[in-house]
């Protein structure tokens, strides 16, 4: 099958590469010539484990191509995926200008019956808008399908190649059969393809992310309560998660969620509800808790040290989560800006996100090559992102190189008992903080 994918961002590049891996001929399109040239050289602009190898392999096999020419790629394609950005607008609603611009270009380029797939995260009703735009510019038969993505950064290839489920929104039997054929290689382990109407498919993506964000914020509220009453949120989490109706996923307290999906999608779903006269009070509370949680480590440091000026702090982890270099809405940004604003010096380390961090902080912070180098002479360490290399540090080595052995564990990944035995003052999230 010939496939065209418009947009070589996170979603488009992963989807296009995985479809090529399953034997289809895929052309990925982007308006950025430098990005296209880099991809043709096998250079992937995002960090995702295994993706660069897969891109190079499928390009070498002649199944994966990159171009700036949309018409030449869309014309012969049987399926066209629109995977462009939908940034957050001023009111919290998703901005559809890039989706609708792509739809117009697709309409002008169609030469045969084609299924056009909304792969970008889009609000309810977008499939109808895309259909209307395309219909203005073509007499060819076509169908518009909603096919939201459920990829986790850092595990995107596994999620795409072995999905929990595939959601497809369409009212067309012809499009349904084509999409079922396209996804057949990925659901051989009995993962379901869930066919539904386009509006339900569009809403499913937002509902899933909003539920996960809600679980995170609920546990962060529980962590705040645990600190007030002297309980340990890790014990509470274990007791909750053992209930099969609840489970353990997304019950880890921390310093808030970030990334390109949860913050934007929670706001967009709240805006959608408001548009039809509903006030989504629960999601407003989720947002408020997350905003508060991003400030919690700075609050703990101010309570412990008082004046932060002229102090030096190490920040371990810059990306919003492990296995990515994505710093969009990352808790580290608010923490570091808060420390700098209080007159502190910041020495930071992240295994892959340093170049991303430079776009945020420039030369206002020191970028250390290792976590130990970041801790040299520091008054405290802030553990922000739970990379594996931060889970079992040499505490004796750290204590010997730090100015004062203080640890603010924003992800509860270090055993507080071991830290205290080595002479550290330990502050976790929702855990007893005595030194």
Residue 23 in 3-state DSSP?
coil
Mean pLDDT for the stretch of residues 92-107: 94
Q: Which of 169, 163, 139 is nearest to 151 (CA)?
A: 163
Residue 206 in 3-state DSSP?
helix
**pLDDT score of 92:** 81
Q: Which of 231-235, 260-264, 387-391 has the lowest mean pLDDT?
A: 260-264
Q: Which two tokens stand for residue 85?
A: 């950005």
194 annotated among ligand-binding-site residues? no
Say yes or no to pLDDT of 390 above 70: yes
195 annotated among ligand-binding-site residues? no
Mean pLDDT for the stretch of residues 81-93: 88
Q: Which two tokens stand for residue 381?
A: 């360490």
**pLDDT score of 260:** 85
Q: Which of 384, 71, 395, 359 is nearest to 258 (CA)?
A: 384
pLDDT in tens, 18-46: 999 999 999 999 999 999 999 999 999 98
Mean pLDDT for the stretch of residues 253-276: 93
Q: Which two tokens stand for residue 109?
A: 């380029």
250 annotated among ligand-binding-site residues? yes
Which residues face 3 on adjacent strands?
26, 79
321 annotated among ligand-binding-site residues? yes
In sequence order, which ranges of 41-116 are alpha helices (DSSP H)? 51-60, 70-74, 97-109
**pLDDT score of 190:** 81
Which residues face 29 on adjacent strands?
6, 67
Say yes or no to pLDDT of 435 above 50: no
Distance between CA 301 and CA 403 in Å, rounded?
A: 15
176 annotated among ligand-binding-site residues? no
**pLDDT score of 88:** 85
Distance between CA 78 and CA 83 in Å, rounded?
A: 16
Distance between CA 80 and CA 30 in Å, rounded?
A: 13
Domains defined for the chain, CATH in brackets = 2-196 (3.40.50.720), 205-292 (1.10.1040.10), 294-427 (3.40.50.720)
CB 70 within 8 A of CB 29: yes
Quickly count: other Cβ atoms within 10 Å of residue 423's Cβ: 11
CB 357 within 8 A of CB 384: no
Say yes or no to pLDDT of 353 above 60: yes
**pLDDT score of 134:** 98
Choice among 18, 28, 261, 348 that is catalytic: 261
Q: Which two tokens stand for residue 96?
A: 């559809």
**pLDDT score of 11:** 95
CB 380 within 8 A of CB 327: no
Mean pLDDT for the stretch of residues 64-70: 97
What is the pLDDT of the chain when averaged over all its residues?
A: 95
Q: What is the pTM of this model?
A: 0.91
Burial label, 189 (beta-carbon count in 10 A; 0-12, 13-18, 19+)? exposed
Mean pLDDT for the stretch of residues 408-414: 97
Distance between CA 291 and CA 284 in Å, rounded?
A: 11
pLDDT in tens, 236-263: 999 999 999 999 999 999 999 999 899 9
pLDDT band at 401 (very low <50, low <70, confident <90, very high): very high
CB 301 within 8 A of CB 312: no
CB 352 within 8 A of CB 319: yes
302 annotated among ligand-binding-site residues? no
E strand or H helix at 340: helix 331-341
Distance between CA 252 and CA 371 in Å, rounded?
A: 23
pLDDT in tens, 276-326: 999 999 999 999 999 999 999 999 999 999 999 999 999 999 999 999 999
150 annotated among ligand-binding-site residues? yes
CB 83 within 8 A of CB 120: yes
Mean pLDDT for the stretch of residues 55-79: 97
Q: Which two tokens stand for residue 324?
A: 């990515």
Say yes or no to pLDDT of 434 above 60: no
Quick one: what percent of the chain has pLDDT higher than 90?
Answer: 94
30 annotated among ligand-binding-site residues? yes
End-to-end CA distance of the chain: 63
Distance between CA 233 and CA 225 in Å, rounded?
A: 9
86 annotated among ligand-binding-site residues? yes
Q: Which of 78, 74, 68 is nearest to 24 (CA)?
A: 78
pLDDT band at 191 (very low <50, low <70, confident <90, very high): confident
Q: Is the dihedral of CA 369, 370, 371, 374 positive or negative?
A: negative
205 annotated among ligand-binding-site residues? yes
For this structure, is 261 an active site residue? yes
65 annotated among ligand-binding-site residues? no
CB 62 within 8 A of CB 27: no
Say yes or no to pLDDT of 179 above 80: yes
């Amino acid at each position: 099958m010939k496939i065209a994918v418009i947009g070589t961002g996170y979603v488009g590049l992963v989807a296009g590469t995985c479809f090529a891996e399953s034997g289809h001929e895929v052309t990925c399109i982007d308006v950025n010539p430098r990005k296209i040239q880099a991809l043709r050289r096998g250079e992937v602009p995002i960090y995702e484990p295994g993706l660069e190898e897969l891109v190079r392999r499928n390009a070498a096999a002649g199944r994966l191509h990159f171009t700036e020419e949309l018409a030449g790629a869309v014309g012969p394609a049987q399926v066209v995926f629109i995977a462009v950005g939908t940034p957050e607008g001023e009111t919290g609603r998703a901005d559809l200008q890039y989706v609708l611009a792509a739809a117009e270009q697709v309409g002008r380029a169609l030469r045969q019956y084609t299924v056009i797939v909304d792969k970008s995260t889009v609000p309810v009703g977008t499939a109808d808008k895309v259909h209307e735009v395309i219909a203005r510019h073509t007499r060819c038969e076509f169908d518009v399908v909603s096919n939201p993505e459920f990829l986790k950064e850092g595990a995107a290839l596994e999620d795409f190649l072995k999905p929990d489920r595939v959601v497809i929104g369409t009212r067309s039997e012809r499009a349904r059969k084509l999409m079922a054929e396209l996804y057949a290689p990925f659901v051989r382990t009995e993962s379901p393809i869930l066919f539904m109407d386009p509006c339900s498919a569009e809403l499913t993506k937002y509902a899933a992310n909003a539920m996960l964000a809600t679980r995170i914020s609920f546990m962060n509220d529980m962590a705040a309560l645990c600190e007030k009453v002297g309980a340990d949120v890790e014990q509470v989490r274990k007791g909750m998660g053992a209930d099969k109706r609840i489970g353990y996923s997304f019950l880890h307290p921390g310093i808030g969620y970030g990334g390109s999906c949860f913050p934007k999608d929670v706001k967009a779903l709240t805006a959608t509800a408001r548009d039809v006269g509903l006030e989504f009070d629960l999601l407003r509370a989720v947002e408020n808790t997350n905003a508060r949680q991003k400030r919690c480590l700075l609050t703990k440091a101010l309570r412990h040290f008082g004046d932060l000026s002229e102090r030096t702090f190490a920040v371990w982890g810059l990306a919003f989560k492990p296995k990515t270099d994505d710093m969009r809405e990352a808790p580290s940004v608010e923490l570091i800006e808060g420390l700098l604003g209080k007159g502190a010096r910041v020495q930071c380390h992240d295994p892959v996100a340093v170049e991303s961090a430079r776009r945020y902080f420039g030369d206002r912070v020191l970028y250390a090559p290792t976590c130990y180098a970041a801790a040299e002479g520091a008054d405290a360490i802030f553990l922000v992102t739970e990379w594996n290399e931060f889970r079992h540090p040499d505490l004796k080595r750290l204590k010997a190189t730090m100015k004062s052995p203080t640890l603010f564990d924003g992800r509860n990944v270090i055993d507080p008992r071991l830290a205290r035995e080595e002479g550290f003052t330990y502050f976790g999230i929702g855990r007893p903080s005595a030194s």
